[in-house]
């Protein structure tokens, strides 16, 4: 407590409080009604003389608030709003930030989400507007790319005529930036780590050179004995993704008579055995669990492999999959040098593809190949928020989320009839519960979550892709790799648990060749969500990458031994 003598000092202090705009009902009450909080007392001094001096005891927190206000007033306020488009648009317009405003290196932006841990903030919102119309990975998007767009085609990347014609048939004419960088390196025989943003066309960046090489090997084999061995294996974290990649592979392989098969878990060993029963495919797309089971039972041999692709590598090196992946890697002779990928005794080329990479990638890989020889390819906008997708954040009570979701879905149908939406929940139970609620509201939808039996799950995503239903309620199982080109709206019904999950979920819109006006809407409910949202707002205002995302292979640290003296 700080004591002030009533008279000039106390009244001046009260004046400061009043003029500072601080609302201080306790102080007003205390001084007028002589009640607690601020104790006003009269001092009796020596002898019979009563000194008429009252003392107000001021709590420290109030004193420091006054100091803060004084200091804040001393500073000149920087306006972050300029003429033109807004990058950040908030409920409180004074916190808006223009697209043309660049924050200074040491400038601390005031976040619109600053008070979002407090219950009073329910109903607050802010929006990160899209500042670009086209995705950065479309070559020719930047001025310096202009020439590239008109000159670089798949032909100039030495992709054969048949494949080029197949791509033209599905409306793909020019390579994306990730394809421009990756295809030549794969063709040269390098092991690669390709880290590029979601929806940038990573699948074709590895499938095109793989199919082209297998076609060449098949032609060379025509006069010799065919080995009937699997040549390329693509490992992915989910059955839905395996089906999707296999569909692209089948389209590319069609002119050459190469076969693609998939194998996934959840259907028993009999089903796995059936896949390898008579003829082995040229390309196998597999989930790790099923592949490990097949290897343990000797249903297939990976010693003749030409390519091992690990797609969605961030998930595959996650502790839940990494032990299986390690097992698979140990069954393959992986090349350490491009020279080893050619000739009769060739070894397999390793292609790792993903948008983020966990710390222990190096630990696992160092057991099977030379880390120093892996070529790392990173896209320019990796781990940035997508500049071509509008992202809205709404602080909302848990009990109001269903109504907000219903409004958003209704608005989508009003704005764009037939526009598709994906609604992400953090748990399978929430998917089920939300599904029933939407059913009661008459919203047609499909549900997809990992606890569904394999038979029920099969085909759900494909039917959503084909447009048989416009709303998909799902867990993060649908956030990795699945191509949702017709989706216009992503709703984070539950806020994702990490930045990585946010990037992958948001990446289901704004994809190459997909609809152009995609949007992400996130509901923020819990105090623990707020920190992640604040990091996202800060990254948007500062135009930096999201914190804590990895895209490097880190050399494993040498194990330190504690030597006993």
Residues that bind ligand ATP (CB under 6 A): 172, 174-176, 179, 198-204, 355, 481, 483, 485, 507, 511-513
For ligand ATP, the closer CB: 124 or 314: 314
CB 413, CB 482: distance < 8 Å:
no
Give the list of residues 6+ apart from residue 154 with CB closer than 8 angstroms, or none. 163, 164, 167, 174, 175, 208
Give the list of residues 6+ apart from residue 370 with CB closer than 8 angstroms, or none. 336, 337
For ligand ATP, the closer CB: 476 or 529: 476
For ligand ATP, the closer CB: 331 or 508: 508
Helix (H, G, I), strand (E, B) or coil at 21: coil
| Angle ∠(480,485,490) on CA atoms, nearest 5 | 65
For ligand ATP, the closer CB: 145 or 301: 145
Backbone angles phi, psi at 217, to 5 degrees: -65, -40
For ligand ATP, the closer CB: 251 or 430: 251
**In terms of residues, how long is the chain?**
565
Backbone angles phi, psi at 56, to 5 degrees: -105, 125
Least distance (Å) between residue 541 CB and ligand ATP: 25
Least distance (Å) between residue 501 CB and ligand ATP: 13
Cα distance between residue 565 and residue 506, in whole Å: 55
For ligand ATP, the closer CB: 66 or 134: 134
Cα distance between residue 336 and residue 342, in whole Å: 12
Least distance (Å) between residue 471 CB and ligand ATP: 20
For ligand ATP, the closer CB: 24 or 515: 515
Backbone angles phi, psi at 181, to 5 degrees: -80, -40
Least distance (Å) between residue 508 CB and ligand ATP: 7
For ligand ATP, the closer CB: 130 or 198: 198
Helix (H, G, I), strand (E, B) or coil at 446: strand
For ligand ATP, the closer CB: 272 or 506: 506
Least distance (Å) between residue 167 CB and ligand ATP: 8
What does DSSP assign to residue 545?
P
CB 261, CB 246: distance < 8 Å:
yes
| Angle ∠(310,504,146) on CA atoms, nearest 5 | 85
| Angle ∠(365,369,372) on CA atoms, nearest 5 | 90
Helix (H, G, I), strand (E, B) or coil at 465: helix
Range 466-475 burial, b when 16+ CB lie within 10 A, else e:
eeeebbbbbb
Least distance (Å) between residue 244 CB and ligand ATP: 8
Least distance (Å) between residue 92 CB and ligand ATP: 34
Cα distance between residue 266 and residue 270, in whole Å: 11
């Amino acid at each position: 407590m700080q004591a002030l003598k009533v008279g000039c000092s106390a009244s001046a202090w009260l004046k400061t409080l009043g003029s500072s705009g601080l609302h201080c009902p306790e102080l007003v009450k205390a001084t007028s009604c002589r009640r607690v909080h601020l104790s006003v007392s009269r001092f009796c001094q020596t002898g019979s003389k009563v000194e008429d001096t009252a003392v107000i005891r001021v709590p420290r927190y109030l004193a420091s608030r006054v100091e803060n206000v004084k200091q804040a007033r001393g500073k000149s306020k920087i306006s972050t709003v300029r003429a033109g488009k807004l990058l950040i648009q908030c409920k409180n317009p004074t916190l808006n930030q223009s697209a043309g405003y660049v924050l200074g290196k040491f400038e601390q932006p005031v976040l619109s989400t600053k008070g979002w841990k407090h219950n009073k903030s329910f109903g607050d919102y802010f929006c990160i507007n899209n500042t670009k119309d086209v995705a950065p990975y479309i070559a020719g998007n930047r001025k310096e790319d202009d020439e590239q767009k008109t000159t670089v085609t798949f032909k100039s990347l030495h992709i054969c005529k048949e494949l080029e014609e197949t791509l033209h048939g599905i409306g793909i004419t020019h390579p994306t930036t990730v394809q421009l960088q990756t295809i030549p390196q794969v063709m040269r025989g390098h092991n690669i780590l390709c880290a590029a943003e979601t929806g940038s066309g990573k699948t074709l960046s590895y499938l095109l050179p793989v199919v082209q090489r297998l076609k060449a090997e098949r032609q060379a084999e025509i006069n010799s004995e065919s080995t009937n061995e699997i040549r390329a294996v693509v490992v992915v974290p989910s059955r839905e993704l395996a089906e999707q990649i296999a569909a692209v592979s089948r389209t590319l392989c069609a002119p050459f008579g190469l076969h693609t098969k998939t194998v996934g878990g959840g259907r028993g060993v009999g089903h796995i055995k059936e896949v390898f029963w008579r003829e082995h495919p040229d390309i196998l797309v597999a989930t790790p669990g099923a592949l490990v089971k097949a290897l343990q039972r000797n249903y297939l041999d990976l010693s003749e492999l030409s390519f091992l692709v690990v797609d969605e590598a961030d998930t595959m090196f996650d502790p839940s999959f990494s032990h299986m992946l390690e097992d698979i890697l140990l069954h393959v002779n992986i090349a350490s040098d491009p020279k080893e990928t050619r000739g009769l005794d060739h070894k397999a080329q390793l292609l790792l593809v993903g948008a983020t990479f966990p710390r222990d990638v190096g630990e696992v890989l160092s057991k099977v190949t030379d880390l120093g020889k892996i070529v790392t390819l990173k896209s320019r906008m990796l781990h940035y928020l997508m500049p071509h997708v509008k992202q809205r954040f709404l602080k909302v009570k848990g009990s109001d989320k269903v109504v907000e979701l219903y409004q958003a879905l209704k608005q989508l149908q009003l704005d764009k009839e037939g526009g598709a939406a994906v609604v992400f929940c953090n748990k399978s139970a929430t998917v089920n519960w939300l599904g029933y609620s939407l059913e009661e509201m008459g919203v047609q939808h499909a549900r997809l979550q990992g606890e569904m039996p394999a038979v029920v799950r099969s085909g759900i995503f494909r039917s959503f892709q084909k447009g048989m239903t416009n709303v998909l309620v799902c867990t993060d199982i649908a956030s990795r790799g699945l191509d949702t080109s017709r989706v216009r709206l992503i709703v984070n019904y539950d806020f994702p648990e990490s930045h990585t999950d946010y990037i992958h979920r948001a990446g289901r819109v704004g994809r190459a060749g997909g609809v152009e006006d995609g949007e992400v809407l996130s509901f923020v409910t819990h105090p623990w969500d707020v920190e992640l949202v604040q990091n996202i707002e800060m990254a948007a205002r500062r135009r930096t990458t999201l914190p804590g995302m990895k895209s490097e292979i880190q050399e494993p640290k040498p194990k330190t031994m504690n030597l006993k003296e």
